[in-house]
Structure 1
Amino acid sequence: MKLTPRFAALAAAALLATAPLAHAATGPGPGVSWQAAAADADIDRFFAQAKADKKPVLLYWGAKWCPPCNQLKATLFNRADFIEQSKSFVAVNIDGDARGAQKLGTRFKVRGYPTLILFNPNGSEITRLPGEADAAQVMSVLQLGLAGGRPVKAVLADARAGKKLSANEWRMLGFYGWEIDEQQLLPVAERPATLAQLAKASEGADAETATRLWLKSIGALAEGKTADPAQLPRLRAVLADATQARAQMDVLGNEAPDLVKALTPQGGDARNALLAEYDAALKRLNEDTTLSRADRLNVLQARIELARLDQPKAEVHPQRIPATLLTEAREQTARANREITDGYERQAVITQAAHLLGRAGLWKESDELLKSALARSHSPYYLMSQLGGNAKKQGRKADALRWYEEAFNKSEGPATRLQWGSNYFGALIELSPEDTPRIEKAAAQLFAEAEKDPGAFYERSERSLKKVADLLTGWNKGAPQAAAVGRLKAQLDGVCGKLDGSDAKARAACEGLMKPAARKA
């Protein structure tokens, strides 16, 4: 996916900080018989069970801290119809911090949290569900897949060949998780043209799907590429129609700046008119109480992004955002903080609220919100990393490093610790490159943790370690740094030497970390 209040009184904030969570928020949620998988043997057993029972498999890949994952738990996994529907499939949960989870990530070609994949009883992938869509829409697409739907790969092939598809098959394509495809269906470079082709071919079969595919094709254009300006009236028609805008809420919110820039590439009357119409549509969605809090805040953030569109790329100051919009940002984020009692929803919404406050230039409010929420979060290290990011953007280097370090120290789970540790390490290199002892200590700790984790050289964990290795190579400019890098390389060589000799992939990844040929430009 593409993935942020001021309090009336300190007493109110203190009360919120000590109120209990609605639940512990440690798994995908109650009511569904989730099967936890941490190794190939687990997956093989669950797929064999599904085949024997002639049931599909729904695979959920996520993490405890991940805000969009928590949003799924708060809006989809707890729905009565989802819980009832789960009796007809085998529900498998891969926690990204389980011992073998990152290796399983390689097997299923999943990277981003969350990813939802539906398989048929024979183990063939049917579709990847769009976790960013409205929960009711996701539920609808899940039911289509469960009702004997063909693998979306075959459906796409037929669509590209000009064969006739049913309305339900077009809907499967429109609501496919294109952002989490990981090039299973298409190379990323081919996505805009293919989506445009599909949008045109689907006209007359399902209007909502055709519009969705068209909007996604425009949003997927590379930065700087423009769309045919003759298509501008189509976007204006969607924005003006409350029913259409509601159906395309997630695309209109997530792709707002890209849609505006692609269809009105130059500033002026046309862009100003579109911005006014877009803001009116988003404001209507923001006030729609049938949407979740997270979705309403998402469209509020889209309004802020559009207000920033023609401003310098540097972090914006609040005086550059309309005062009424700033008031709405303050009021809505404060209301969410007061009203939310569900632990899953808090992790999704409060982190999002703090992010949008920062995007509006309301740094003080963003920091206050995050600090007040620390005691209530089941993953406070995520909020700490946001505080570090806020401080860095404001030029408060010491505070930034303190928060990044605390976030790393408090983080839990092997993959999460490597990711948070690499973020802390990156901040050290950027903000305090002269602090050789601290930098060496952080890298040495990460290599030591990688030695204990059999999945350290797969997927997200491997990318975290690559980040550290590449930063070390770029930092190695003088004698003290060279000596530290030499010691760290020797430590890493020892880690590689202790890996299971039968795991050639892990050994190659480890040995390639600090070799010049293995580094990305």
Structure 2
Amino acid sequence: MTMTRSLTPRLRPTLLALALMCTAAATTLPVHATTAPSVAWQEASADDDISKAFAQAKTSKKPVLLYWGAKWCPPCNQLKATLFNRADFIELSQAFVPVHIDGDNPGAQKLGARFKVRGYPTLILFSPEGQEVTRLPGEADAPQVLKVLQLGLSGGRPVSAVLADARAGKKLSANEWRLLGFYGWDTDEQQLVPAADRAALLLQLSGVARGVDEETGTRLLLKALAAGDQARSGFKPDAATAKQVRQVLSQPALARTHVDVLANGATDIVTVLAPQSGAERQAWVTQFSQTLKRFEADTTLSRADRVQALIARVELARLDQPKTELRPKLNPELLADVKTAAARADKEITDGHERQAVITSAAYALGRAGLWAESDALLKAGLAKSHAPYYLMSMLGGNAKKLGRKDEALRWYEEAFTKSEGPATRLQWGSGYLSALVELAPQDSARIEKVASQLLTEAAKDKGAFYERSARSLQRASAQLVQWNADGRNDATLNRLRQQLDGVCSGLNGGEKSTCDNLLKKRG
């Protein structure tokens, strides 16, 4: 399933309210059926909620599955559309204590800091005693996630212990290798290994795993390539590695097994295998594109996965063109495929969660293909059908900004902030709007001060404002304001904001106060 952890859909993961929403409520798609069986998620907003959940787990001898997400997040909606609504997942949920932390719940960001979760979504399985067993790969398709969850539920050891034994050269079972292969490395937050060392570690593990479970060894190899950065880490795959990748791409069934890594990591893998433009790189692009086209036609995959494969094809076609190119030179067939896929998704998808996941990705694909008018049209048509339209508005603002339409961009960013819901989301969207103002209208000091002041006012009311995502939103806003005043022309504005900030910080203690006190300070 496609992973989207910011306002702009990303490749690996790729990858962002209508004013008439109240009057258009009758046309808004339902996001779930109220009478259908569902997972009995326990909502958590504070440490007490977590304590109750773990006490229940210990008494019932059941593991805990913690899901960290947000209403607007496309990959979170994809989980709801393809995993959480599955009858087998709902039935399996009887075997664990399901805990949901909505990032906009009061105190949720503080819990995020406790569990070291940042990106939405993150799925963590804990033992009944509260020890983290594994992080599930949210980018994998639903059946694969279910298999990994079942492995964890079967009483397996924590993945940290499994990895320690693997690094020490101890023998692991096939199931233990699968836990490593399907670990959520992208949501690990460097707990098991520093990000810079991940590619080399995964490559080393892949060689050993292949002797026990070939499928897992192949997956670890592909994950290593997708995580590799030759320029920074000196990661250089050899001829044998290239041969293995070609074998995967040439075998449809094998490639389908690793669809999530191949589609989400296509450009990264090709870049590592062929760092320089030329015939070798083009050969890889051609072979990857053929595999990706098979994924696009594979109806056993979710629509989000098929659109992700299409995005990967677009990115591969752009690989040797400037990254900021607004009108890339693409094959007419590829352009037609992008248009067709977007139109089909818009016509066929009726589930609200799936629309939030797929329409945003399709709009992103249109933009990356240089089809800006089509991207805008798709997003605008989706506003009334989205339960979090402010995400689409931010994408419209991003489109307008890229095309140099400053006033239009600011209108969309402002409306997105105005319509955004939830304390953490509002700080994130407000920070985005402020950044756009500083960049596109730096002379409008009154407007900049008004938005910055509103952010501080909302932060003062938010229990989690100085933790995790919310803290980073405020830190980004702070950095933008300090840079905006680099020449001292806006000293008066910054001084007024600092006075307001002092009032916010005075009521805090410990780490929260330290984070607050460090805002709006000029760095050396």
Matched, 1:296 2:323: no
Matched, 1:481 2:490: yes
Deviation string, structure 1 residues 205-238 (Cα, Å, up to 9, x no partner):
1111101101111111126355334122211111
Amino acid at match of 1:89: F
Deviation string, structure 1 residues 248-283 (Cα, Å, up to 9, x no partner):
101111111111111112222222222111111110
Matched, 1:193 2:200: yes
- Decide which of 75, 86, 98 is 1:79's aligned counterpart: 86
- Decide which of 340, 343, 360 is 1:331's aligned counterpart: 340
Matched, 1:508 2:517: no
CA distance in 2, matches of 1:48, 1:21: 40
SS of the equivalent of 2:125 reads strand
Asked if the contact 2:4/2:75 (under 8 Å) is kept, the reply is no
Matched, 1:305 2:315: yes
Matched, 1:64 2:88: no
* Structure 1 residue 437: Cα displacement: 0.5
Matched, 1:89 2:89: no
Asked if the contact 1:256/1:306 (under 8 Å) is kept, the reply is yes
Amino acid at match of 1:296: R
SS of the equivalent of 1:228 reads coil
Deviation string, structure 1 residues 104-134 (Cα, Å, up to 9, x no partner):
0010000000000000100000000000001
Task: Specify the alignment match of 2:108 in structure 1.
Answer: 101
Asked if the contact 1:36/1:93 (under 8 Å) is kept, the reply is yes
Asked if the contact 1:115/1:128 (under 8 Å) is kept, the reply is yes
* Structure 1 residue 512: Cα displacement: 1.3
CA distance in 2, matches of 1:365, 1:169: 47
Amino acid at match of 2:51: D
Task: Specify the alignment match of 1:117 in structure 2.
Answer: 124
TM-aligned CA distance change 1:478 to 1:163, over 3 Å: closer
TM-aligned CA distance change 1:237 to 1:294, over 3 Å: same
Count of aligned residue pairs for this structure pair: 501
SS of the equivalent of 1:92 reads strand
Task: Specify the alignment match of 1:456 in structure 2.
Answer: 465
Asked if the contact 2:248/2:255 (under 8 Å) is kept, the reply is yes
Asked if the contact 2:31/2:351 (under 8 Å) is kept, the reply is no
CA distance in 2, matches of 1:253, 1:2: 13
Task: Specify the alignment match of 2:223 in structure 1.
Answer: 216
The aligned runs of 1:94-173 (5 Å cut-off) are 94-173=101-180
Identity %: 62
Task: Specify the alignment match of 2:271 in structure 1.
Answer: 261
TM-score scaled by length of structure 1:
0.93
Matched, 1:355 2:361: no
* Structure 1 residue 315: Cα displacement: 2.5
* Structure 1 residue 190: Cα displacement: 1.5
Asked if the contact 2:110/2:464 (under 8 Å) is kept, the reply is yes
Matched, 1:33 2:44: no
* Structure 1 residue 332: Cα displacement: 0.8
CA distance in 1, matches of 2:489, 2:322: 39
* Structure 1 residue 21: Cα displacement: 4.6
CA distance in 2, matches of 1:446, 1:316: 32
Matched, 1:401 2:410: yes
Asked if the contact 1:98/1:413 (under 8 Å) is kept, the reply is yes
* Structure 1 residue 36: Cα displacement: 0.3
Deviation string, structure 1 residues 299-338 (Cα, Å, up to 9, x no partner):
01000000001112222415x0110011010011110111
Computed over aligned residues only, the root mean square deviation of the Cα atoms, in angstroms, reads 1.7
* Structure 1 residue 18: Cα displacement: 8.0
CA distance in 1, matches of 2:31, 2:66: 22
- Decide which of 287, 290, 298 is 1:280's aligned counterpart: 290
SS of the equivalent of 2:490 reads helix
SS of the equivalent of 1:492 reads helix
CA distance in 1, matches of 2:262, 2:152: 25
Asked if the contact 1:2/1:254 (under 8 Å) is kept, the reply is no
Task: Specify the alignment match of 1:369 in structure 2.
Answer: 378
Deviation string, structure 1 residues 60-84 (Cα, Å, up to 9, x no partner):
0000000000000000001111000
* Structure 1 residue 516: Cα displacement: 3.5
CA distance in 2, matches of 1:284, 1:72: 23
Matched, 1:232 2:242: yes
TM-aligned CA distance change 1:24 to 1:220, over 3 Å: closer
SS of the equivalent of 2:212 reads coil
TM-aligned CA distance change 1:486 to 1:515, over 3 Å: same
Amino acid at match of 2:288: Y
Asked if the contact 1:61/1:96 (under 8 Å) is kept, the reply is yes
Task: Specify the alignment match of 1:251 in structure 2.
Answer: 261
CA distance in 1, matches of 2:203, 2:186: 16
CA distance in 2, matches of 1:202, 1:351: 37
Asked if the contact 2:177/2:213 (under 8 Å) is kept, the reply is yes
Task: Specify the alignment match of 1:7 in structure 2.
Answer: none
Asked if the contact 1:239/1:245 (under 8 Å) is kept, the reply is yes
TM-score scaled by length of structure 2:
0.93
CA distance in 2, matches of 1:130, 1:171: 12
CA distance in 2, matches of 1:22, 1:388: 24
CA distance in 2, matches of 1:418, 1:26: 31
CA distance in 2, matches of 1:479, 1:281: 55
Instruction: Between 404-413 and 186-195, report the one with greater CA deviation.
Output: 186-195
Asked if the contact 1:428/1:439 (under 8 Å) is kept, the reply is yes
Task: Specify the alignment match of 1:12 in structure 2.
Answer: none
SS of the equivalent of 1:189 reads helix
TM-aligned CA distance change 1:338 to 1:317, over 3 Å: same
Matched, 1:184 2:185: no
SS of the equivalent of 1:150 reads coil
TM-aligned CA distance change 1:181 to 1:456, over 3 Å: same
TM-aligned CA distance change 1:480 to 1:268, over 3 Å: closer
CA distance in 2, matches of 1:53, 1:24: 32
CA distance in 2, matches of 1:2, 1:260: 21
CA distance in 2, matches of 1:30, 1:220: 38
CA distance in 2, matches of 1:39, 1:18: 33
Deviation string, structure 1 residues 336-388 (Cα, Å, up to 9, x no partner):
11111101001000111101111111100000000000001000000000000
Deviation string, structure 1 residues 466-494 (Cα, Å, up to 9, x no partner):
01111111111455511000100110001
CA distance in 2, matches of 1:306, 1:480: 44
Gaps of 5+ in 1: 5-16
Gaps of 5+ in 2: 10-23
Matched, 1:175 2:202: no
Amino acid at match of 2:133: I
* Structure 1 residue 496: Cα displacement: 0.6
